[in-house]
Amino acid sequence: ACAEVHDLVCGFLLMYFCSGADVIELGVPYSDPLADGPVIQGAHSRALEKGTKLQDVIDMLAEVSPKINSAVVLFTYYNPIMARGVETFLADIKKAGAAGLVVPDLPLEETESLREKTKAAGIELVLLTTPTTPQERMGLISKAADGFVYLVSDTGVTGMRTKVADRVQGLLGMLREETDKPVAVGFGISGPEQAKQVSAWGADGVIVGSAIVRTLESAEKPEDGVAAVGELAASIKKAANEERVAA
């Protein structure tokens, strides 16, 4: 990756920590990000155009992880893992400071081998449930997941929504019947009000991606974007915490 990308990503990781992020999701650029909407697809494309590779992401993480207390979860599709070799990939990201892994294109039935290897490597494998996941399958996914369960709030790809679907409250209730592991809600959370709402419904965490990328895109200069994203992240954290205290 070019120095510009390196410095920007490292700056973001430090800023997220300073803004109160408990967990930081770090994405690996990929040419076919099928779970992502247009905003994050654009970010993938720009990173790849600047020559960013998996090793660059690992190097950035290794540089920043000793300076932060936030857990870093790597978000990557399966092809880059397979191309590097599963054991090598896991050893490399663990050494760099990763605590967890999200692989959105790997269904539950195909995670068994990877789960064994992530456990051996000391990496928590986070699994996803969706609005179309039957409750019995939610239970199986929750049992297999490490760390926390990632609840996708809406069908479709990542992106900003004007409101969180009301059914998320019911989905959280179904998950609570199946597991006592923490549940974080993602896909469509774009601001403090939505974070406050899902926290009121019982979510343990909120995951924000597209709104952060869009905020960066809207800034005139990269350093302005880092500052604006920091403000957004802090406001989301504050809203979620306030709702939990009130509850």
Q: Is 56 a catalytic residue?
A: no
CA distances from 110 to 27, 70, 106, 136, 205 (A): 21, 29, 6, 18, 26
Give the closest residue to 235 by CA, choosing from 182, 189, 200. Answer: 189
187 Cβ contact list (under 8 Å, min separation 6): 152, 153, 154, 156, 157, 158, 159, 207
Q: Is 220 a catalytic residue?
A: no
Of 4, 7, 22, 25, the active-site residue reads 25
The answer for 188, left when phi > 0, alpha when psi is -120 to 50, beta otherwise, is: left
Can you tell me the distance from the alpha carbon of 10 to that of 84, in angstroms, rounded to the nearest whole number? 23
Adjacent-strand bridge partners of 75: 27, 102
Adjacent-strand bridge partners of 186: 152
Of 4, 36, 146, 223, the active-site residue reads 36
Taking residue 156's Cβ as centre, other Cβ atoms within 10 Å add up to 13
> Hey, which residues are catalytic here?
25, 36
